[in-house]
Amino acid sequence: MGTRSISFDSPDSLYERNLIDDSDKVNRNEERILKLHESNGVVEQTSSPLKREVINRLSYSFSMKSHENDEIDLEGGKLVKDKDKPTRSKGVIRIQNQALFSGIAYCISSCSMILVNKYVLSSYDFNAGISLMLYQNFISVIIVSMLRFLGVISTEPLTWRLIKVWLPVNFIFVGMLITSMFSLKYINVAMVTVLKNVTNVITALGEMYLFQKYHDSRVWAALFLMIISAISGGITDLSFHAVGYAWQILNCFLTASYSLTLRRVMDTAKQVTKSGNLNEFSMVLLNNTLSLPLGLILIFVFNEVDYLSRTPLLRLPTFWLVVTLSGFLGLAISFTSMWFLHQTGATTYSLVGSLNKIPLSVAGILLFHVPTSLQNSASIFFGLLAGVIFARAKMRERS
């Protein structure tokens, strides 16, 4: 639903920070003991034996008390306090559990969203993709507005200055969603995931020409593999549909344009907000709210009103249940992706996103009984593998 603009800490960095804090506390105790011993040395030269004995006993007692509750970590070579260990270990376990749960929630919501949309468009043979997009975005606006009203989340107010800055991004955003709906109606899920890899190629070229950001050879090698897999997958696709492929190619250009335009607009948009920032929830509300009037116009332009007035699907309660579920899943992707990013990091997020396409593709083939061949299956697997290689190459490039 929008670009992620949040800060995050990995479990490892949190754990290391706790260790550093513990080590600092131990060092301060040792410094106080050392100073006390130094003062004892001065006293020994001027005081009586009785005073020296009293001070030495007090010093030894303080030293033993400061260390008797400490345990030496033989592997790490650090002193770790016993009373802090259970709290820290529980904290690490809790963080790791949250990372696992957030990752599972993100994978389930992202896979389910695509599969449910495919079910609505293909199995129900619903021929109003713009109306489906409009309904999903309307649900997102209602839920985010309710959460803001209840004080669960905070969003930036939609001022006219912010709307003017964001409108170009929103036009591309709406086009990206609509072309995705149209392509998904005609192309099977597995081929959609492979063809979406072309977006990475267009984005990389755009970054090079617009932002002078150059990638290393491993990234370009992965991008080349993506192009080969997309071409071979299209050639061997037994359910090839020219209209669907045309919509998907257009979707790749719009998705890349959305990513590149967002980078240019974000800084300006932050300057016109009251807080000087634009979080994920604000972008979800902004994008989906602005898409409503534009979606209404496009419904009339593509003459979906006539279809909606004739289709019997709108009288089926099960149909409304499924499309409403798709709206909730669309918003769930934004929430779970932000939660997952916060619990892990950008590298883990991108790698899991690439790996997540594998079960999605398999589920799409099995659930919708997609006719396939060995050559097409190999092309799909090759494309998914290229996505994983690309994610790993981007990790190494960032490091």
Which pair of tokens denotes residue 17? 């920070």
Q: Model confidence over 198-228: pLDDT tens digits?
A: 999 999 999 898 888 888 888 899 999 999 9
Q: At what angle do helices 217-235 and 198-210 cross, to 10 degrees?
A: 140
Average pLDDT over residues 52-73: 44
Backbone angles phi, psi at 228, to 5 degrees: -60, -45
Q: Model confidence over 138-186: pLDDT tens digits?
A: 999 999 999 999 999 899 998 999 999 999 999 999 999 999 999 999 9
Amino acid making up residue 327 = G
- Nearest 10 degrees: CA dihedral of 358, 359, 362, 365? -110
**How far are the Cα atoms of 12, 177, 223, 331, 352 from residue 344, in angstroms, in the given order?**
9, 28, 25, 20, 11
Q: Across 18-22, 131-135, 260-264, 266-270, which has the greatest mean pLDDT? A: 131-135
- Residues 367 and 115: their CA atoms lie apart, in Å, by 9
- Residues 109 and 336: their CA atoms lie apart, in Å, by 8
Q: How confident is the model at residue 93 (pLDDT cuts 50, 70, 90)?
A: low
Nearby residues of 11 by Cβ (< 8 Å), 6 or more positions away: 92, 95, 96, 99, 343, 344
- Residues 32 and 44: their CA atoms lie apart, in Å, by 18
Q: Model confidence over 297-312: pLDDT tens digits?
A: 999 999 999 999 999 9
At residue 244, does pLDDT exceed 90?
yes
Which residues, listed in sequence order, are joined to residue 73 by a DSSP beta bridge? 78
Q: How far does Cα 143 stand from its chain's mean position?
A: 20
Q: Which helix (H) or strand (E) segment is 172 a member of?
A: helix 160-186
- Residues 186 and 247: their CA atoms lie apart, in Å, by 9
Nearby residues of 251 by Cβ (< 8 Å), 6 or more positions away: 176, 179, 180, 183, 196
Sign of CA dihedral 129, 130, 135, 140: positive
pTM score, whole prediction = 0.73
